[in-house]
Amino acid sequence: MAHKTRRIGLSLGADICWPICYEGLLKELDLTIPDGNDTLAFEVERVLIEPFDLQQPCKYDVVIDRLTHWYHTSREWIKKAILMDDLYVFNNPWTLQSMEKLTTYCAMMRLGLPVPATWLLPPKSYAESPDLQSTLKRYAKLFDLGEIGDQVGYPLFMKPYDGGGWVGVSAIKDQDSLRAAYNTSGTQVMHLQKGVVPFEGFVRCVGLGPQFRCVNYDPDAPLHDRYRTDVDFLSAEDEQRLSDVTMVINAFFGWDFNSCESLLSDGVWHPIDFANACPDSQVTSLHFHFPWLIKANLRWSIFCAATKRNMSTNLNWREYYDVAGEDKPFEDKLADYVRIARRRFDTDRFEEFCDRHLGHLDEVALHYFATEPVRDAIREKVEALYPDHEHDDFTELFWDRIQHWRQLEGAAGP
């Protein structure tokens, strides 16, 4: 019998709290998993940024990536390791590099999801380049912005086609406010999207592998209060619908970790923002939901490492489009999309693996999230974001919310 070690790499940027808790909880789990005649242990290491030989072997089995959406050196190293060494990474760096919000809107519209009406606008201004003026003179068509706004319908939202974190988003109520916002948008390429109003619910569904958590979301609240601590605020049917839609989106684009924002209006959930393939993972935002994220991250990364999960570089959208083209109700199509997504995430095998090998994770996590290392991780993140006079108050706020999670989880039992 051989003892083998699976190695998990953390490719990090400004992340502080979640890597500390991921590493700490993995150590507490002290895993030894049978693998045929062998046994598997697991190690975690933070990936360094350094020069690399393109033929240099990769020592990791799985990498959890938080950099490739903006840091090119790490992105190219990860792409090299996938191509040369069959490294499994979440998320897929090619889809992160190429998929913008426009791409996701178009694809999900084709699949029949009720995405609100959306237009793309040329930028208001341009960075000068040698061929710019001749191109614009020949081909840039004059347009009536007010007329487009009327076609989309008010209220609407103007937002960068490739944006994130609510940066550059403007709520538009009429032609005057549309023109004012567009005139100050600079070189950004903007979407106009019809507002879903009135709405009765705003939910952010976080997906990590075939695991999902629906969070009551308040975008108008301060950052530390946007993720509400409500539980059981959705019907079982609505929670399943939001989880199913998130799973389909994530599997379609090759994203293991993503979040989907949806608005409920007149009984219909409208996905409005679902290209968030590096979701906020910080305790200062997630607080009450932070332990769920750490546990979900551990389950999926351990499963991927233990089973030597293959990285899929072929998204095979045609399989979905064939379903989309069938003459049958959307509910039946969605069920087929979900079956494709479950297969791509190997959901049945994942759930069986967790039941067999990670059944003690919940109990260990309940203990771990009451320890001083967790409080210290919260404090370190708070100190990185907040002014000195707020360190104590915010540390206690986030700590108390995690303890509230522990009380509810403990009361729920196994």
Where do the domains of the chain lie?
3-98, 117-194, 201-361
Pairwise CA distance, residues 83 & 325, whole Å:
33
What does each C-alpha distance from 28 to 22, 133, 366 come to in angstroms?
A: 10, 62, 11
* pLDDT for the residue 205: 98
**Whether pLDDT at 411 is above 90:** no
Tell me the CATH number for domain 201-361: 3.30.470
Flag whether pLDDT at 165 surpasses 70: no
What six digits make up the tokens of 307?
């089973």
- Element holding 205 (H helix, E strand): strand 201-208
pLDDT at 164 over 80: no
61-76 pLDDT, tens digit per residue, is: 999 999 988 899 999 9
Output the pLDDT for position 167.
76
Q: Given pLDDT bands bounded at 50, 70 and 90, which one contains residue 414?
A: low
117-194 and 201-361, same CATH topology? no
pLDDT in tens, 7-62: 999 999 999 999 999 999 999 999 999 998 899 999 999 999 999 999 999 999 99
Please write the tens of the pLDDT for every residue from 344-378: 999 999 999 999 999 999 999 999 999 999 999 99
pLDDT at 192: 95
43 DSSP β-pair partners: 7
The tens digit of pLDDT for each residue in 271-322 reads: 999 999 999 999 999 999 999 999 999 999 999 999 999 998 889 999 999 9
> What is the C-alpha separation between 169 and 183, in angstroms, rounded?
14
- Can you tell me the distance from the alpha carbon of 388 to that of 269, in angstroms, rounded to the nearest whole number? 42
User: 0.75 exceeded by the pTM?
Assistant: yes
Per-residue pLDDT of 210-267, as tens digits, reads: 999 999 999 889 999 999 999 999 999 999 999 999 999 999 999 999 999 999 999 9
Architecture of domain 3-98: 3-Layer(aba) Sandwich (3.40)
Alpha carbon 88 to chain centroid distance? 17
Q: Which CATH superfamily is domain 117-194 in?
A: ATP-grasp fold, A domain (3.30.1490.20)
In which order are the strands placed within the sheet that holds 156-160?
118-121, 190-194, 156-160, 170-172
pLDDT band at 413, cuts 50/70/90? low
pLDDT digits (tens, 9 = 90+) for 89-146: 999 999 888 888 899 999 999 999 999 999 999 999 999 999 999 999 999 889 999 9
Q: What is the mean pLDDT of residues 205-213?
A: 98
Contact, 143 vs 202, CB < 8 A? no
Instruction: Give the mean pLDDT of 188-194.
Output: 94
